[in-house]
């Protein structure tokens, strides 16, 4: 039995609606909606947590407010914390030539925790700077699509100024 965690259903539907140009896209979108409708009850019954970026941010904010830590969270220190946690994420791979599949369970847990730390500080930074992360990502993807057109960059690791 496959279990899917739906992080942001509205975002997924919005993404698919933007690309429903062909009959195949329409079919895929319809099947996705049907699958979600059929399995949503199962997902809720087995306790899968459905959280959007907004809900995650609220949970982090509540956690910090309960401990009176907000006073320590300015943009500079949050940016430093993102960098530090990213460095801890890199440590998971230091001196190893591995991919995720070859990591043992302890290393996978450490990797998961470091990813969560990076994400938590990123959400805290966005909240403090009043940046809508979803919008920022969508805008960046659009910008990168123009900067790196598929016909010129497919399969290439070159930068836009190298082609």
- Taking only the tens place, the pLDDT of each residue in 109-162 is 999 999 999 999 999 999 999 999 999 999 999 999 999 898 988 888 888 777
Of 4-8, 18-22, 132-136, minimum mean pLDDT range: 4-8
Question: Are 30 and 65 found together in one domain?
Answer: no
Question: Are 79 and 145 found together in one domain?
Answer: yes
Tally of domains within the chain: 2
On whether residue 19 sits in a domain, the answer given is yes
Give the residue numbers spanning the domain of 16: 1-50
- Taking only the tens place, the pLDDT of each residue in 80-116 is 999 999 999 998 888 877 777 778 888 889 999 999 9
Phi-psi region of 68 (alpha: psi -120 to 50; beta: other; left: phi over 0): left
On whether residue 158 sits in a domain, the answer given is no
User: For residues 44 and 158, which has the higher predicted lDDT (pLDDT)?
Assistant: 158
76 CA to centre of own chain: 22
pLDDT grade, residue 14 (50/70/90)?
low
On whether residue 159 sits in a domain, the answer given is no
Question: Are 70 and 33 found together in one domain?
Answer: no
On whether residue 157 sits in a domain, the answer given is no
- Rounded Cα gap, residues 152 and 25, in angstroms: 24
Buried b (16+ CB within 10 A) or exposed e, 30-42: eeeeeeeeebeee
């Amino acid at each position: 039995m496959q279990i899917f965690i739906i992080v942001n259903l509205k975002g997924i539907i919005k993404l698919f609606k933007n690309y429903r140009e062909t009959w195949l896209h329409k079919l895929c979108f319809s099947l996705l909606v049907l699958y979600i409708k059929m399995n949503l009850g199962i997902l809720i019954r087995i306790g899968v947590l459905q959280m959007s970026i907004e809900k995650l941010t609220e949970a982090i904010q509540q956690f910090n407010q309960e401990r009176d830590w907000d006073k320590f969270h300015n943009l500079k220190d949050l940016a430093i914390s993102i960098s530090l946690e990213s460095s801890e994420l890199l440590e998971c791979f230091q001196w190893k030539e591995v991919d995720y599949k070859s990591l043992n369970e302890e290393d996978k847990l450490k990797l998961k925790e470091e990813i969560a730390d990076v994400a938590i500080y990123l959400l805290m930074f966005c909240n403090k700077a009043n940046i809508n992360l979803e919008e920022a990502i969508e805008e960046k993807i659009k910008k990168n699509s123009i900067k790196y057109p598929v016909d010129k960059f497919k399969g290439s690791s070159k930068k836009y100024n190298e082609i």
